[in-house]
Every structure is written in structure tokens, then in C-alpha cells.
Chain A
Amino acid sequence: MWLYLVPTLAINVVIILIPALLTIALAFFQWDGISAPVFIGLGNFVALWSDGPFWTALENNLIWTAIFLTVPIAMGLLAASLLLIVPRRGSTLFQVVYFLPVIIATAITARVWQGMIYSPVTGVFGYLQKLGLPIVNPLSQTSTALFGVATVDLWHWWGFLCVIFFAALRQVPQEQIEAARIEGASFWQMMRYVLLPGIKPTIMLMMIMTVIWSFLVFDFVYILTQGGPAFSSEVLSTLAYRKAFYDLNVGQAAATALVISLFGLVATFFYIRIQSRESV
């Protein structure tokens, strides 16, 4: 029966496992991608420690995590719980529309926001500016660039959470809801004491995934700001990418990748514990 697993495992080992082990090794070497790697021990990590953009990127990842642990989860929960009130056909329509941003390619979403909304020339922001509103392109300011990018990802993301939470809410046992209703619980009491506790495992899982994904965020930052202006929206994954492919400093890129993985690893531990408890 192992034969059935060979294709999957072979592809996985060649594409993911071996390169991942090489990344761990590379983190201790100086390498430009072409000439022979030179072992430098902890040199890459020492260099990162005194690298300003690295700390900005790490801080931005933490801010990003904080935003995504709260805002989209709250939005998703609110919308999902309200969907319980509307009739079935209505809730399907709302769900489909909320889910549309999820299925649009990130590169396209990024460009639509960049050109049609944020742009001072062709975007809605520029139009409002012309009407006299004191509004500026958030991507061009060091103080707001990260939030400008996060807004785009929020738009792209919250519908997914809403749909997941709604699916989970509908699986809360009917008896519990009936019992609460007989006791005269209002909708909000129902949320607080029956529905939210009922979907706690789903919320937990989504929060863990949020932590993992927050350290992987790449597309929107790379396309919208390239980490700028002045590294103000840089995150670890774009920093690692820049180090590897623009600075040809593959060792430091690998070291940065290890830092990303470290945060992911902690979250992954909890993820596997929850997933295996429920599905194995």
C-alpha cells in the first residue's frame, strides 16, 4: 500500500523537505547563489540583529497579526451571526457576494485598489482630493503604508471568515438553540451563551491559521509598496525575497526564512494538536 503514497511523498520531499533542510543549512553560510557557499556560523543572524529593516519587518508582521486577529474575525463573526437571521435564500446571496473578493487573484485585487481607489490621479482618493477633501494615498506615507496594504488584504479576506463562521454556526445543535429560546433568550444572549461557545473550536482554528498566515503575507506588500516607502511596510517575507533575489544574499534570506518559520512553528504545533484531535 505504500506504493499509493510514493508519488505524493516523492514530490513533497523533493520540493519541500529537502529544500527546507537546505534552507536551514544555508542560514549558516554566506552565499550569493552562484559561487561556493562559505560557512560563517551565526554570522547571518548577527547581521540580521543589527539590520534596521529586519526589525521594522518583524514589528510590521506583529502589527499585521494583531490586526488580522481582531478586525476580520470580528467582521466575519458579526456578518455570520446576522446571516442566521435572514431567510435562507438571502443568506446564500450575501455569502456569494462576500466570497467574491476571496476568489479574485491577489495581483488583480492589488492593482484595482492601487489604481482605482488609492491613486491620486486615477483613483477615488484622487477624485475626492479634487473635490477638496484632505485625503492622501496611504501607500505613499511611511506612517500609513502598512495599514493601506492591510486594508486591501482585509477586503480580500474577511468574506472567507464570514462564510466559515456561518457554516460552523449552522452546525450548532438545534436543541441548544431551542432550549435557549424557550428560556426567552434574546438574539445577543443567544450569541453570547449558545452560538459563540458552540463554534469556539472553529474560531480557535481560524486564529491559529491567522497567526501562521500573517507571517507569510507577501503578495499584497510586494505588489502595492515593495515594502516601502523607506521600508515602512516591509514584512519578513518580502525582506527575505529581496535579500535572496535582489541583494543575492541567500544566506541572510535563509536566516530570515527561519525566523518566519519559528513563529509559524509555534502556531503549527497548536494547529496540528487541534486538527488531529478532531479528525484522526
Chain B
Amino acid sequence: MRLVESRATLTITYVVLGIGLFTALFPIVLLVLNSLKSAQEIVQNPLALPEVFRFDNFARAWKDARFSQSFVNSATLTGLTIVLVCSTGSAAAYVLARKKIKAWKVVTFYLLATTTAPIQLFLFPLYFGFAKLGLINNVFAVSLVYTAIYSPFAIMLLRTYFLAVPAEIEEAAIIDGASSWQVFTRVMLPIVSPGILTVALIIGLYSWNEFLIATTFLQKQDKLTAVVSFFLLSGQYSSDWGEIMAAALIIVLPIVVLFVFLQRRFIEGMAGGSVKG
């Protein structure tokens, strides 16, 4: 849709949108700019361009935030969560979308309700329960927590993809003698694979960025995620902000690059539950 407007309206539009652009970019520019500066330069003027590009900030950040370990932890945690959410979620979404069970309505309501449950409602018993079972500092256990928290959202999103598959395709496969499992894995999953990819991206983003659960359940130095490791590095008093911003950029950059290339998928996915077409 295009609304043709007068020159004046158009000018005001671009000015206002430009202010929005500036607002969104200003802190990000500060992040990038100061990741290349020395601590003294930042104290003098955080807005100035770097005198020389100090890439040694990145080397120090990588070492001090122990990224060679914490990136592996974050990647493992994110990968496990994606696999768990996508596998369990797509099966659940298929059954609920196709109303394969009588209680589909109850289950759907239950899952919708858990998307809005505050983490604090289950965090404390969960923590002390995990502590008793020796599951603190266990990356797999944390990925189960993420799976529980994120899968209702994933299921609601995947459900819309399953709903869009014509019933005839499924019926044809059944007439050809396919078992229910074959219909699901050989026919349905390939058709909804774009939806699964979208879910994987968004769940990956959430898991990579998550803070509260990660900082509570993964406390041992060799189990920290990249974000928590960054948080601890930046919380020290004798802070070198050039180094801290370099550490921040190391975590943010892969996400931003991925986002810029796949922005459509990200945005449609995250907006998916909220805008009904």
C-alpha cells in the first residue's frame, strides 16, 4: 500500500523516521566506536573517533571474558535448545493443528497459559530441586529449562504452518498406505521446514541472549555462557570500557550479521504469534 502525500508531509515523515533511526543507532555506534579505543580516549570523549584502531581490545576481551570456553558453552546450549524445541515442538504442533486428539483444546489453552507464566513462579523450587539433583552447572539441564519456556511459543508458531498444509496431501499419503509416523516425518515435516527454520532462528536468538536463567543455573567458571561471562567481566570495578565494548561486539556481531541476512524470517517469526493474517 502506498499513500501519496504532499511534499511537506513527506518531509516531516522522513525527519521523524530519521530521528527514530538515530535513536536506534546511537548506542550501537557508541558500542562499535569505543570498542576500538583505549580506556583513556574513552574517558576524554566517548563520542570521538578512535585515534588509531585498537584491535588489541578484542584479543584482550577474548581472553579475559574466556570466550574460547564460554562461546562453546553458549553454542552447545543454543544448539541443544534448538534441537529439543524443534523436535518436540513440531510433533506437538502437528497433533494440535490437525486436532488428532480430543483434548487438543485443553492442551492448547494450557500451553498458551504457560507462555505468560512468570519465570519467578517456578524458578525457586526449580533451582533448589536442580541443586539437590546436582544439575546446577549442567548445560543440558538448562537447555531443558529453555525448551520448557520457549516451546509453547514455538508450537503456536509451527501450528500456523501445519494449518496451512492442505488436508488432501495428508489424506493422499494415508491412502497410499503411509503410517502416521511416515506421514508426519516424510510428508508434513518437509512441507513445514521453512517454519521450523524460522523457529530455530528465533529460539537460537533467545537462547544465545538469555540472562536470568543462565546466570542462576550456570555459575561455575568453565560453564558460563558468553553473555554471563561478558556480564561478569563488565561488572568489575577497574573496568576498561574499550575492552568491555570489544567483548560486547564479539557477542553481538554474529547475531547482527545473521539478522541482516535473514531479517524477513526473524521479523515474521517474532511477529508471527501477534499478527493474524
Interface residues of A (CB under 8 A from B): 1-2, 4-5, 7-9, 11-12, 14-20, 22-23, 26, 33, 75, 78-79, 82-87, 92, 94-109, 111-113, 115-117, 121-124, 126-127, 155, 159-160, 162-164, 167-168, 170-172, 174, 177, 181, 187, 190, 201-202, 205-206, 209, 212, 215-216, 218-219, 222-223, 236-237, 240-241, 244-245, 250, 253-254, 256-258, 260-261, 264, 267-268, 271-272, 275-276, 278-280
- Write the nearest CB–CB distance from A241 to chain B, whole angstroms: 7
Tell me which of A2, A20, A85 contacts B9 (CB under 8 A). A85
- Write the nearest CB–CB distance from A150 to chain B, whole angstroms: 15
Supposing A101-B24, A116-B27 touch, asked if A276 and B128 sit within 8 A by C-beta, the answer is no
Tell me which of A15, A117, A216, A219 contacts B144 (CB under 8 A). A15
Supposing A7-B91, A155-B23 touch, asked if A253 and B124 sit within 8 A by C-beta, the answer is yes
Contact B211 A202 (CB under 8 A): no
Chain B residues whose CB sits within 8 angstroms of the CB of A4 once the complex forms: 91-92, 94-95, 100, 184
Instruction: Tell me the bound Cα distance from A109 to B42 in angstroms.
Output: 18
- Write the nearest CB–CB distance from B34 to chain A, whole angstroms: 6
Chain B residues whose CB sits within 8 angstroms of the CB of A86 once the complex forms: 13-14, 17
Chain B residues whose CB sits within 8 angstroms of the CB of A109 once the complex forms: 27
CB-defined A-B contacts under 8 Å, sample of 27 = A1-B100, A1-B180, A4-B95, A5-B101, A7-B91, A15-B122, A16-B148, A20-B122, A23-B120, A82-B16, A85-B2, A98-B20, A101-B28, A104-B252, A108-B31, A113-B27, A116-B34, A122-B42, A126-B46, A127-B45, A206-B274, A218-B212, A253-B124, A261-B121, A267-B116, A268-B116, A278-B276
Instruction: Tell me the bound Cα distance from A273 to B208 in angstroms.
Output: 32
Contact A112 B100 (CB under 8 A): no
Instruction: Tell me the bound Cα distance from A126 to B212 in angstroms.
Output: 30
Contact A107 B211 (CB under 8 A): yes
- Write the nearest CB–CB distance from B146 to chain A, whole angstroms: 9
Tell me which of B46, B88, B111, B244 contacts A123 (CB under 8 A). B46
Chain B interface category by residue count: 35 or more
Query: Which residue of chain B has the shortest Cβ distance to A124 in the bound complex?
Result: B46
Chain A residues whose CB sits within 8 angstroms of the CB of B3 once the complex forms: 84-85, 177, 181, 187, 190
Chain A residues whose CB sits within 8 angstroms of the CB of B260 once the complex forms: 96
Supposing A1-B95, A15-B145, A160-B270 touch, asked if A100 and B31 sit within 8 A by C-beta, the answer is no
Instruction: Tell me the bound Cα distance from A147 to B100 in angstroms.
Output: 49
- Write the nearest CB–CB distance from B14 to chain A, whole angstroms: 7
Contact B267 A95 (CB under 8 A): yes
Q: Which 6 A-B pairs have the closest CB atoms?
A: A15-B148, A19-B122, A105-B209, A22-B125, A1-B100, A7-B88
Interface centre among B2, B121, B231 (most CB of A within 10 A): B121
**Does B61 sit at the interface, judged by CB under 8 A?**
no
Chain B residues whose CB sits within 8 angstroms of the CB of A121 once the complex forms: 43
Contact A23 B17 (CB under 8 A): no
**Does B107 sit at the interface, judged by CB under 8 A?**
yes
Query: Which residue of chain A has the shortest Cβ distance to B87 in the bound complex?
Result: A7
Q: How many residue pairs between the two chains, A and B, have CB atoms under 8 Å in the bound complex?
A: 303
- Write the nearest CB–CB distance from A160 to chain B, whole angstroms: 7
**Does B178 sit at the interface, judged by CB under 8 A?**
no
Contact B148 A256 (CB under 8 A): no
Chain B residues whose CB sits within 8 angstroms of the CB of A1 once the complex forms: 95, 100-101, 180
Chain A residues whose CB sits within 8 angstroms of the CB of B255 once the complex forms: 103-104
Query: Which residue of chain A has the shortest Cβ distance to B129 in the bound complex?
Result: A19
Contact A26 B125 (CB under 8 A): yes
Supposing A94-B17, A257-B124 touch, asked if A103 and B95 sit within 8 A by C-beta, the answer is no
Contact A83 B1 (CB under 8 A): no
Interface centre among A108, A126, A267 (most CB of B within 10 A): A108
**Does B263 sit at the interface, judged by CB under 8 A?**
yes
- Write the nearest CB–CB distance from A217 to chain B, whole angstroms: 10
Instruction: Tell me the bound Cα distance from A215 to B42 in angstroms.
Output: 36
Supposing A8-B91, A105-B252, A111-B248 touch, asked if A272 and B109 sit within 8 A by C-beta, the answer is yes
Contact B16 A33 (CB under 8 A): no
**Does B168 sit at the interface, judged by CB under 8 A?**
no
Q: What sequence of 0s and 1s flags, for each residue 1-44 of chain B, a beta carbon within 8 Å of any chain A beta carbon? A: 11101000110011011001101110110110010000100110
Chain A residues whose CB sits within 8 angstroms of the CB of B159 once the complex forms: 279
Contact B31 A112 (CB under 8 A): yes
Chain A residues whose CB sits within 8 angstroms of the CB of B275 once the complex forms: 164, 167-168, 171, 202
Contact B116 A264 (CB under 8 A): yes
Supposing A160-B270, A164-B275 touch, asked if A19 and B126 sit within 8 A by C-beta, the answer is yes
Chain A residues whose CB sits within 8 angstroms of the CB of B95 once the complex forms: 1-2, 4-5
**Does B63 sit at the interface, judged by CB under 8 A?**
no
Supposing A100-B256, A112-B248, A256-B120 touch, asked if A122 and B43 sit within 8 A by C-beta, the answer is yes
